[in-house]
């Protein structure tokens, strides 16, 4: 099978690595890819928003399956255009991708279908005054979310009325999130452990992959600003077999059913961000794609034929036996540039990427190759990921952490507590 992956981050490197492993894959292209994906496939310099460039390439190369990594091309309708040309795609249509692209759409869908999530209200820029009146009577903290996609930055936790007013001003007056912030969802703050679940679906049937936990803040102990994700581990002990059944029955199944009934059947990976509250799992957010960095720890835990899983879903009947959990554990430390998630410098040489242990995969995210050297080129630079045969997070963490000490670039930053919540958790 001739396969194309769209994207250029750590998630796409992990996808490329896993897809290249499958005997079903005869040729793999990554558009545009990164220096890491080049090690397992052929990078083609076509940007993810060049939809016609992508379509022409797929037609010329007789591509059997396209796997779309990031949300933007999905929301912008790349799947719809490829499908119209007869090309199979793993990734939802633009209508189904509204589950991530429009937070208010996802919240209304959940409310109408009794899917557990935080209570909420939606306000437009035109209802600025009503939003202020509402904020004056709620209890704090409260969460304010830009309705559209805002590169992981559009979520503000307001601790007081003053904070909340400031957040609204950022959205409605300063347009800090562009048009994504012209509408906001204001929702009740939830507390508990967070978990990320991937449902692989043909629009009706689905399987759930091992649950992961992301670490969104920049500093240890969940301090500092929100980022795209500073590390993850899987499986997380906070989601057991019983809670997985509840998640499948009360969240994933009714969500897919509702989308199908709205003539927006969802094909691809439905990312479900959960808060495990005292009243049970509740949805924090849905994303229309694999998570990053969670993909980097979930995929190494799968045995079987990953390509068969994706292709069967794209082809209308997901093969639920194509992959299964291999019994192991995986921990990923993201190494970021100094200053990230604010401004940062790029272009520092990365040393120590060779001769790492076989239980380590280094997924490239913000890197570029210049004259044979690997240089930093983004905020999140690398995902250093370990995997163990047994479900031993302590060992997995140790291996990943050892590997990091062998890697160097100027200003590199990483958290040291990835997976500690699980390690210290007593069941």
Residue numbers at the binding site for ligand GLY (CB under 6 A): 214, 229, 287, 291-292, 294
Per 3-state DSSP, the chain is made up of helix, strand and coil in percentages (nearest 5) of 30, 30, 40
CB of 362 to ligand GLY, least distance (A): 18
Residues 6+ away with beta carbon under 8 Å from 86: none
Q: Which is nearer to ligand GLY, 212 or 375 (by Cβ)?
A: 212
Cβ atoms of 54 and 74 within 8 Å: the answer is: no
Query: In which order are the strands placed within the sheet that holds 360-364?
Result: 213-214, 231-234, 329-336, 380-388, 360-364
Cβ atoms of 94 and 261 within 8 Å: the answer is: no
| Distance from chain centroid for Cα 47 | 20
Q: Which is nearer to ligand GLY, 181 or 229 (by Cβ)?
A: 229
- The radius of gyration of the chain's CA atoms, rounded to the nearest angstrom, is 21
Q: Which is nearer to ligand GLY, 55 or 418 (by Cβ)?
A: 418
What 3-state DSSP class applies to 156? strand
Cβ atoms of 141 and 159 within 8 Å: the answer is: yes
Q: Which is nearer to ligand GLY, 153 or 413 (by Cβ)?
A: 153
Q: Which is nearer to ligand GLY, 170 or 292 (by Cβ)?
A: 292
Cβ atoms of 40 and 62 within 8 Å: the answer is: no
Rounded to an integer, what distance in angstroms lies between the CA atom of residue 92 and that of residue 46?
A: 21
CB of 291 to ligand GLY, least distance (A): 3
CB of 294 to ligand GLY, least distance (A): 6
CB of 214 to ligand GLY, least distance (A): 4
Q: Which is nearer to ligand GLY, 85 or 225 (by Cβ)?
A: 225
Residue nearest to ligand GLY (CB): 291
Q: Which is nearer to ligand GLY, 273 or 352 (by Cβ)?
A: 273
CB of 355 to ligand GLY, least distance (A): 29
The neighbour count for residue 427, using CB atoms within 10 Å, is 5
CB of 232 to ligand GLY, least distance (A): 7
CB of 379 to ligand GLY, least distance (A): 14
Rounded to an integer, what distance in angstroms lies between the CA atom of residue 333 and that of residue 189?
A: 27
């Amino acid at each position: 099978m001739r396969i194309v992956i769209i994207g250029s981050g750590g998630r796409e490197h992990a996808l490329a690595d896993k897809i290249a492993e499958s005997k079903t894959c005869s040729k793999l292209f990554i558009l545009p890819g990164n220096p890491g994906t080049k090690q397992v496939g052929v990078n083609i310099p076509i940007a993810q928003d060049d939809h016609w460039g992508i379509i022409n390439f797929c037609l010329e190369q007789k591509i059997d399956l396209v796997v779309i990594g990031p949300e933007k091309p999905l929301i912008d309708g790349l799947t719809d255009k490829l499908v119209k040309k007869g090309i199979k795609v793993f990734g939802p249509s633009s209508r189904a991708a509204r589950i991530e692209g429009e937070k208010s759409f996802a919240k209304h869908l959940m409310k109408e279908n009794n899917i557990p999530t935080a209570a909420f209200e939606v306000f437009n820029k035109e209802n600025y005054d009503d939003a202020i009146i509402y904020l004056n009577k709620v209890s704090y903290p409260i969460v304010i979310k830009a309705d559209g996609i805002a590169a992981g930055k559009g979520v503000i936790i307001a601790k007081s009325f003053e904070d909340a007013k400031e957040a609204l001003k950022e959205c409605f007056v300063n347009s800090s999130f562009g048009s994504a912030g012209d509408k906001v969802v204001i929702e009740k703050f939830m507390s508990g452990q967070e978990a990320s679940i991937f449902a692989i679906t043909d629009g009706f049937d689905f399987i759930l992959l091992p649950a992961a936990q992301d670490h969104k803040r920049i500093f240890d102990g969940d301090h500092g600003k929100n980022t795209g994700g500073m590390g993850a581990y899987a499986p997380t002990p906070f989601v057991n077999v019983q809670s997985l059944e509840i998640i499948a029955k009360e969240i994933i199944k009714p969500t897919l059913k509702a989308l199908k009934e709205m003539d927006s059947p969802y094909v691809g990976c439905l990312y479900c961000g959960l808060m495990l509250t005292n009243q049970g799992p509740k949805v924090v957010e849905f994303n229309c794609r694999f998570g990053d960095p969670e993909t980097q720890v979930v995929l190494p835990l799968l045995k079987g034929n990953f390509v068969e899983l994706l292709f069967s879903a794209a082809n209308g009947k997901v093969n639920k036996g194509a992959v299964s959990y291999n019994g192991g554990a995986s921990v990923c430390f993201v190494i970021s540039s100094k200053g990230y998630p604010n401004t940062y410098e790029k272009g520092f040489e990365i040393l120590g990427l060779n001769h790492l242990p076989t239980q380590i995969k280094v997924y490239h995210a913000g890197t570029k190759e210049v004259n044979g050297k690997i240089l930093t080129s983004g905020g999140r630079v690398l995902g250093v990921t370990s995997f163990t045969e047994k479900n031993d997070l302590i060992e997995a963490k140790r291996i990943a952490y050892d590997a990091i000490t062998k890697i160097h670039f100027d200003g590199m930053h990483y958290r040291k507590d990835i997976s500690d919540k699980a390690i210290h958790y007593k069941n």
